[in-house]
């Protein structure tokens, strides 16, 4: 196997040798990552915590592929070929032969760290890349849950993954340059995405800029300054944004917005990062946006 030597004598393989991807989590992000990878020709294993979540994730992925068929982007034969590259499991041991594993579970540091510790024990390839799709949790903390933090890196996709071209590559202080380069090559050469790099700080590049803007819109609504429709229409028609901030928050998920805001506030202690009470109450009520049927707008219909 062709390898690239590291300074410490270990090695990381070039992106072209990565053919087996593991995805931990099959929610909106995990299913999207799995779909993009399978459409790119990779052997993809997807893991969920139980059979119910696994079935829901598989149905979500199949529905996305079926939309591709109806939209003329895939033939039925191509859809079936993509599905044939996917395996679904509840067992972490199924990831033993993976070249790259992307964790895409909820924004919970303890849960993510436990996953990385478990992967460290089962993934046999010595130069495997361990990646997190986290949008806010420090990569350093996840890397230290393993015995190989130099191979742990942030690979942050954007929703919806099959549509959005951008991926943020986020190394920790201990991530090797070879891991970063291999991860970037994997994302660009194998998955066809575009990359920007960020330091390992809360929010990375995009969310550090985006989330304060979204929180400002929530505060404007909370104060009674303007209605949700008017706030969104103002930014779409007045600033040529493709979507207003409250509708975008609904699309991302209000629980995710809250988690990122809390991470940003914990790190920087800036008031603009603090989640507004309205956002916190909506998450408490299960009004999470589009995925729950209701957020700042109603999607039940």
- The per-residue pLDDT for range 184-229, each reduced to its tens digit, is 999 999 999 999 999 999 999 999 999 999 999 999 999 999 999 9
Q: Cα–chain-centroid distance for residue 290?
A: 17
Active-site residue flag, 297: no
pLDDT greater at residue 136 or residue 248: 248
Both tokens of residue 192?
């066809």
Beta-strand runs (E) in 117-251:
129-132, 152-157, 166-171, 194-197
Fold equal for 4-197 and 206-292: no
Task: Classify residue 92 by its DSSP letter.
Answer: G
pLDDT in tens, 144-167: 999 999 999 999 999 899 999 999
Active-site residue flag, 189: no
The residue from 113, 133, 207, 249 that is catalytic is 207
Q: At residue 292, what are phi and psi to the nearest 5 degrees?
A: -105, -5
Active-site residue flag, 156: yes
Q: Is pLDDT of 91 > 90?
A: yes
Q: Please report which confidence band the pLDDT of residue 12 belongs to, taking 50, 70 and 90 as the band edges.
A: low
Active-site residue flag, 223: no
Q: Is pLDDT of 183 > 90?
A: yes
Token match 């829901």: residue? 56
pLDDT value of residue 7: 35
What is the average pLDDT across 23-28?
96
The residue from 135, 136, 198, 249 that is catalytic is 135
Instruction: Please choose, from the candidates 173, 182, 178, the residue with its C-alpha nearest in 3D space to the C-alpha of residue 155.
Output: 182
The residue from 13, 168, 176, 249 that is catalytic is 168
Token match 């591709």: residue? 68
pLDDT value of residue 136: 84
Instruction: List the CATH code of the domain at 206-292.
Output: 1.10.1040.10
The residue from 35, 48, 156, 178 that is catalytic is 156
The domain limits of the chain are 4-197, 206-292
Q: State the chain's mean pLDDT as an integer.
A: 93
Q: Does domain 4-197 have CATH number 3.90.1300.10?
A: no
């Amino acid at each position: 196997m062709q390898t690239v030597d590291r300074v410490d004598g270990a090695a990381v393989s070039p992106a072209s040798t990565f053919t087996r991807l593991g995805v931990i989590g099959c929610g909106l992000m995990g299913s999207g990552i799995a779909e993009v990878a399978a459409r790119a020709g990779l052997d993809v294993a997807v893991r969920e915590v139980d059979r119910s979540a696994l079935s829901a994730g598989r149905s979500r992925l199949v529905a996305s592929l079926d939309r591709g068929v109806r939209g003329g982007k895939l033939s039925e034969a191509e859809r079936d070929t993509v599905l044939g590259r996917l395996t679904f499991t509840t067992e972490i041991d199924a990831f033993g032969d993976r070249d790259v594993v992307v964790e895409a579970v909820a924004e919970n540091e303890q849960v993510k760290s436990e996953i990385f510790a478990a992967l460290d024990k089962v993934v046999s390839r010595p130069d495997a890349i361990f990646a997190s799709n986290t949008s806010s949790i420090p990569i350093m903390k996840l890397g230290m849950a393993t015995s190989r933090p130099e191979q742990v890196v942030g690979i942050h996709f954007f929703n919806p993954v099959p549509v959005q071209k951008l991926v943020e590559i986020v190394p920790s202080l201990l991530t090797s340059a070879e891991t970063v380069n291999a991860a970037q090559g994997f994302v660009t050469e194998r998955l066809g995405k575009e990359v920007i790099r960020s330091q390992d700080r809360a929010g990375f590049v995009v969310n550090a800029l985006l989330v304060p803007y979204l929180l400002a819109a929530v505060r404007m609504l909370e104060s009674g300054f303007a209605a949700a429709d008017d706030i969104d229409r103002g930014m779409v028609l007045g600033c040529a944004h493709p979507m207003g901030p409250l509708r975008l928050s609904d699309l991302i998920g209000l629980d995710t917005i809250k988690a990122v805001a809390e991470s940003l506030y914990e790190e920087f202690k800036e008031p603009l990062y603090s989640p507004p009470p309205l956002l916190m109450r909506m998450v408490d009520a299960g009004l999470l946006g589009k995925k729950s049927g209701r957020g700042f707008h109603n999607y039940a219909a």
